[in-house]
Amino acid sequence: MLKECSLCPRRCRVDRSRGEIGFCKTGDRPLVASWGPHFGEEAPLVGRHGSGTVFFTRCNLGCVFCQNWSISHTGEGREMSCGQLAEVFLELQERGCHNIDLVSPTHQVPMILRSLALAAERGLNVPVVYNCGGYESLEALRMLDGIIDIYMPDFKYADPETARMLSKVEDYPATVKAALREMHRQVGDLLLDERGIALRGLLVRHLVLPEGRAGTAEVVRFIAEEISRDTYINIMDQYYPCYHADEYPPLDRRLTRKEYDEAIHMALSAGLKRIDGISA
């Protein structure tokens, strides 16, 4: 797949094994920005000892409001070998993290798979979280069947034109819907242990945008009616203008409390009952 890259729906068709780069500007070695226990993720991932996050450099999306833009857009991070990435995974497990949380993994799947295999041979046994933007190819997702324990995709937009303008991917809504169906087929609804720690399943994130630009009503309708009413969802209120957001009103301002409350009401009205931080 790297020789004529089709890892994501952009299908750049460049030969990454020979140094050619496409939209994600990534070759055929792991490119990592940082790693460590993270306590800002959803409660089922954090537990007592944190989520073992690995932030991968670059991204297959071009979000104009990216809050991690220095990593995703400017390439902050360093190249390492698959053996070194395996060491990172094992270090996080040794530090007591409840999982390995792969942040923006889509464009680095082959390198991640090699590294997970090496780490598994040496005792890696915590759940693996695929923390992505939702713009996934079904071919790549099917390679992950039986390897990924917890899928945590974003569902960013319901409208193709909004997706084109804000993330440079007009086919995002149809693509993320197909991806969510495949993820749920593989792992089902989110399963927690007796401590409330996630073991396996689907967890969806949706960032509410000013003036309803994310299309929240359609997002929650789709999840409730076409995935599962038992889907665990985090409806996020932390939007703030970042990167080039000032150039795209109304994204040049923060979300209001009223806008967020309306989004929660939409989710509850759609029948979703597992909303992070909200008691239905």
Q: What is the CATH number of the domain that holds 73?
A: 3.20.20.70
Work out the average pLDDT over 139-157. 97
Expressed as residue numbers, the domain containing 198 is 24-279
Residue 18 lies in a domain: no
Residue 1 lies in a domain: no
Residue 14 lies in a domain: no
Per-residue pLDDT of 229-264, as tens digits, reads 999 999 999 999 999 999 999 999 999 999 999 999
Question: pTM, whole model, 2 decimals?
Answer: 0.97
Residue 198 lies in a domain: yes
Pairing of strands 100-103, 128-132: parallel
The Cα 87–Cα 90 span in angstroms is 5
**SS3 letters for the chain?**
CCCCCCCCCCCCCCCHHHCCCCCCCCCCCCEEEEEEEECCCCHHHHCCCCEEEEEECCCCCCCCCCCCHHHHCCCCCEECCHHHHHHHHHHHHHCCCCCEEEECCHHHHHHHHHHHHHHHHCCCCCCEEEEECCCCCHHHHHHCCCCCCEEEEECCCCCHHHHHHHHCCCCHHHHHHHHHHHHHHHHCECEECCCCCEEEEEEEEEECCHHHCCCHHHHHHHHHHHHCCCCEEEEECCCCCCCCHHHCCCCCCCCCHHHHHHHHHHHHHHCCCEECCEEC
Looking at residue 217, its amino acid is A
Residue 4 lies in a domain: no
Min mean pLDDT across 35-39, 87-91, 150-154, 275-279 is at: 275-279
Of 33, 190, 206, whose CA–CA distance to 108 is shortest? 33
Place of tokens 């931080």: 277
pLDDT beyond 90 at 146: yes
Residue 11 lies in a domain: no
Q: How many domains does the chain have?
A: 1
> 279: pLDDT confidence band, cut at 50, 70 and 90?
low
Residue 203 lies in a domain: yes
The Cα 131–Cα 150 span in angstroms is 8
Per-residue pLDDT of 115-130, as tens digits, reads 999 999 999 999 999 9
Residue 6 lies in a domain: no
Tokens for 226, please give them: 């076409």
The Cα 66–Cα 166 span in angstroms is 10
Place of tokens 């039986």: 146
